[in-house]
Amino acid sequence: MTLEDHVGDILSKARKSATLTAEVAAAAAGLSVADYAALESTGKSPKPANLLKLAPVLGLNGPKLEGIARGWHPPAIDLSPWRELRQIATTQGGNTVNCYLVWDEVSREAALFDTGWDAAPIFRLLDAEQLQLKHLFITHTHTDHIAALGPIRERFPKVKLHSSSKHAPVDQRTRANDFIHLGSLRITYRDTPGHAEDGATFIIGTWSEDAPHVAVVGDAIFAGSIGGAREQLALAREKIQQQIFSLPPDTLICAGHGPVTTVALEKEHNPFF
C-alpha cells in the first residue's frame, strides 16, 4: 500500500496551514512558481527543490522531508502477532479509506473501527470468521469513514456505537476514562482533534501472546504525514504528541489512509515532527 501523501501533499498541507503563498514557498525552495506548483501537485518538480531550506519556512523537519522525497516507506510489518485484526480498504472516486475489524478469538465478538465506503467486505469477513458485531467505534465523522454506517446498523441493530461527535446521542459519546472489554481485549479512548473536531483514537490492548498495543487513529496521523488540519495544525500536532507519541514505541498505528506504521517509525520519519 502506497503512502497517503507524497512530498507535494505534505508541502501543500503545511503551506496552507501556515497561510503562506506559493510564491513564498517557491522562493525558499529555489524554484519558479510553476515548478513549485508541479511539486505540490505531483510530488516532483522539473528542477531539484531545496527542501532543507523550504522545510523550516513551512514548519517541517528538513531531513525527514527529504526522506519522503527519496521514497521512504514504512517497512512491511508482520501482522501475525495480531491474529484477530484485519484492515479493510474500500475505494470510491479514487479515495481509498481503511477501516479495521478486531475480535475475541473465544467469544467471536467483534468491534469495527469506522466503516469505509462499502459494507460488503465487512460482512464477508464477519461471515467468514463467524463473528457477531458488538461495537462500532467512529474515529471521526467525515463521509469516507462513515459512509457504510446505514447498512451496518441495519444488519446489526443492537451494535453499540461509540463516537466523539457532539451530535451523537449522549449514550453513544466517548468519554476520557471509558474502556470497553471485548472478550480478553481492552479498548480505550484518546481525544485527537485537529484534522476533525471530533477526532478520536482508540487503543486496543491486552492481545494474546502479549502483542503490542494497536492505535486506530483515523486521519490524525498517517505513515509519513498527518491529516489536513489547516488552521488547526498546531492542535493536531499537540494531540498527536500527547496522545499517540506517548504510547509505547512498538504500538501499531492503524490509520484511515495508507499503510500501517508504528509510533517509533513516525517519530523517526514523519516530517511534521
CA 136 to chain centre: 17
Query: Does residue 195 surpass a pLDDT of 80?
Result: yes
Quote the pTM value.
0.96
Per domain, the residue ranges of the chain are 7-69, 85-269
∠ CA 226-224-84, rounded to 5°: 85
* Cα gap 79→156, rounded to integer Å: 28
- Average pLDDT over the chain, rounded to an integer: 97
Q: Which three cell numbers stand for residue 114?
A: 469506522
Burial class (CB in 10 A: 0-12, 13-18, 19+), 151: middle
Q: Please report which confidence band the pLDDT of residue 173 belongs to, taking 50, 70 and 90 as the band edges.
A: confident
Domains 7-69 and 85-269 fall in the same CATH topology: no
Q: Which of 273, 239, 233 is nearest to 19 (CA)?
A: 233
The pLDDT tens digits of the residues spanning 44-60 come to 999 999 999 999 999 99
Q: Which of 200, 201, 216, 217 is nearest to 165 (CA)?
A: 200
CATH number 3.40.50.300 is the correct assignment for the domain at 85-269: no
Q: Which fold has domain 7-69?
A: 434 Repressor (Amino-terminal Domain) (1.10.260)
The pLDDT tens digits of the residues spanning 138-161 come to 999 999 999 999 999 999 999 999
Q: Which of 147, 109, 150, 111 is nearest to 131 (CA)?
A: 109
* pLDDT of res. 136: 98
Q: Which of 98, 76, 75, 74 is nearest to 86 (CA)?
A: 98
Q: Where are the beta strands (DSSP E) in the chain?
A: 85-92, 95-103, 109-113, 132-137, 160-162, 179-182, 185-191, 200-205, 214-218, 221-222, 225-226, 252-255, 261-262
The pLDDT tens digits of the residues spanning 88-101 come to 999 999 999 999 99
The pLDDT tens digits of the residues spanning 213-238 come to 999 999 999 999 999 999 999 999 99
